[in-house]
A and B are shown apart, each in its own frame.
Chain A
Amino acid sequence: MEKLDLVIAVPSQDRDALDDVASSVNQLFVTESRSLDGETVATALVSIYVTGIPLFRAWLNARVAERKGCKVTIGGDVYQGYSADDVVKIIDNIESKLEIEHKNKKGNRKSGSK
């Protein structure tokens, strides 16, 4: 099954929230990340599969409902997850990238079988 790597960042004090997301994705590591402005955030590198999308969407929506938000980075593109619209954008992007990945792999298999 095709998967997509993405990075989720939340404020340091919300680090436990990254444990909750683990049910929807394959969590590779959780780390503290300090940026140029000295701010430290909790960051998780995760792999998501198509089957995990509904649970991940629910996790994002729960963050929005709690007015906490998060930041999701996929292939160098940053998405702020602070509103319902943001969640739609993030999920759309994940779905389209997984679809492309799926098509590419299918294409490779076909060309490999010739």
Chain B
Amino acid sequence: MIEVGLAPDAIARYLRATRGVDSEYLSRDVTALETFYVDVLESLYNSGLNIHHIKLYLVDSVRSDIETLHHNGCCQIIFDQGMMDIFDMLNHVFLTEFPATDPDSLPPPQFWAHALFANRFLARGQRVEASIQAAIANNYSSVNERPDSPYLQHGDLWVTVQSGYAIAHEIAHCHLDDESTTLARTIANDFENKMLPLVRRHDEENPVDLTPPHLHLARNVNADLARKFNLDLSTVLEHFGEKDWEMIPQRRARTLEEQLDVLLHDDSNVGEEILCDYWAMLFTSRIMGSSIIHPDEALVICFAAFLFQSAIRYFEAQAASFSDDYLSLETMLDETDEVNIRTQFFMFSAQIIGDMHILHDYDLGLISGDDLAVTGRQRRELLAENLNSLNKAYYKIVEPIVAQGIAGQTFLMAHAIPADDVIRKIASSSTLADVVRDCVKNY
């Protein structure tokens, strides 16, 4: 069993201290997730890998994250169900709202973004900021009905696959720590033989772009904010300091192959993250794909989970910079670069794994030899199309908010919502966590 009530005393106390005493009461059915976890471990065990040092604990709190403790040779993975609520909300945003948005316009900040900011502010203990964001989110939600969506029929399934991906990613970290040789050799082999040809083709088709993409985006977002609050654009630019954006030094451009080469051989953790993305995607699509969903669809859902986790990280970083002021533009761009390279690698990996699925179906007799070429091509095209659509949706929906950054949030807090008595009352209330969770759940 993987419930907090049965956790060892010290871990149970850790969970209560970090997530609250009520965090052991789960709000979602996790049977499918538990089965997935057991299947992953069984698969590892059958491959001769040690699994006894890995433990999983499920909790439910506003912290909404996944955390791994490394203690006395053990890996204790703590998965917080609040993250499932965020996955659910972002699935709705991506799958219902985006298709209806004019692709040529920048979507204005919607209440989901404020709900996510409220969540990340509270997760960091910034209660007043969380209260303001929750108030803005609730203000939006009172005028916007949650749109109907075909996603509603499969919502729980998507969230389960995405949660499974997040857990598998952490399990991969546990193995790269302890048994890097076995796993790294397998992945390095895939990289050399399957990944590099795709990467080289990409570099040939996409010459390196030296223009910093954020400058143009930042101007657009500022103009959008000015329109929204009926302000003179120069006032907004003055507040945000557009010159900061113009002073960004041109970052040395590298081909994708050069970037990957550096990442996989330097001491940063980005290379490890990329390997864990690959491994988690492979296992999640293979295990979930053989039981509850088509494996190619599982790949697309994993990609959504990856993008959503990137969004959570961005929002978290911006919430941190609001109080600590340590997040420079340069740091933010470094993080953007990291997400970009992981995203590209993820999409290449998905294609490779998709090809493995096709061959697997052929081996099982699900595709005949005559149909292999046609079906394989169709599946590849469909997979690539779905991945590209999701990636575009991410840039349309999340990037403007990232570009607007904490300056935009500061502006909103200073001008749009005064920190009055009501806000202070909410901030000091013991029910703030419930208020913030409702913001996320009510989308």
Contacts and interface: CB of A to CB of B under 8 A. Distances in A.
A28 B10 contact: yes
Interface stretch (B14-22, B101-109, B211-219, B221-229): B14-22
Interface size bracket, A side? 20 to 34
Contacts of A80: 124-126, 323-324
Contact of B316 (A37, A76, A82): A37
A16 B53 CA distance: 25
Interface in B1-48: 10, 13-14, 16-21, 23
A35 B67 contact: yes
Interface in B55-79: 61-63, 65-71
A75 B309 CA distance: 25
Contact of B19 (A35, A45, A76, A82): A76
Contacts of B312: 36
Contacts of A43: 69
Nearest to B80: A36
Nearest to B316: A37
Nearest to A71: B125
B273 A38 contact: yes
Interface in A68-114: 71, 73-80, 82
B10 A76 contact: no
Interface string B229-273: 000000000000000000000000000000000000000010001
B403 interface: no
Interface string A51-82: 00000000000000000000101111111101
Contacts of A5: 13, 16-17
A71 B17 CA distance: 13
Nearest to A31: B71
Nearest to A35: B67
Contacts of B309: 36
Contacts of A33: 67-70
A76 B10 CA distance: 16
Contact of A7 (B18, B71, B126): B18
B366 to A, nearest CB: 37
B10 A45 contact: yes
Nearest to A32: B70
B21 A75 contact: yes
Contact of A36 (B17, B65, B269): B65
Most buried by B among A36, A45, A75: A36
Contacts of A74: 17
Nearest to A33: B69
B173 A32 contact: no
B317 interface: yes
A70 to B, nearest CB: 12
B71 A36 contact: no
Contacts of B61: 76
Contact of B173 (A34, A73, A77): A34
B317 A37 contact: yes
Contacts of B71: 29, 31-32
Contacts of A45: 10, 13-14, 17
Contact of A76 (B18, B69, B323): B18
A59 to B, nearest CB: 18
A60 to B, nearest CB: 15
Interface of B: 10, 13-14, 16-21, 23, 61-63, 65-71, 123-126, 173, 269, 273, 309, 312-313, 316-317, 323-324, 433
24 contacts: A5-B17, A6-B17, A7-B17, A28-B13, A29-B14, A31-B70, A32-B71, A34-B67, A34-B68, A36-B66, A36-B309, A36-B316, A38-B273, A45-B10, A45-B13, A75-B17, A76-B18, A76-B21, A76-B61, A76-B62, A78-B124, A78-B125, A80-B324, A82-B324
Interface of A: 5-7, 28-29, 31-38, 43, 45, 71, 73-80, 82
- Rank and list the top 5 A-B pairs by shortest CB-CB distance, nearest first: A76-B20, A78-B125, A31-B71, A32-B70, A5-B17
Given A33-B70, A76-B23, 16 more contacts: A29-B10, A29-B71, A31-B70, A33-B68, A34-B68, A35-B65, A35-B67, A36-B316, A38-B273, A71-B125, A76-B17, A78-B124, A78-B125, A80-B124, A80-B126, A82-B323
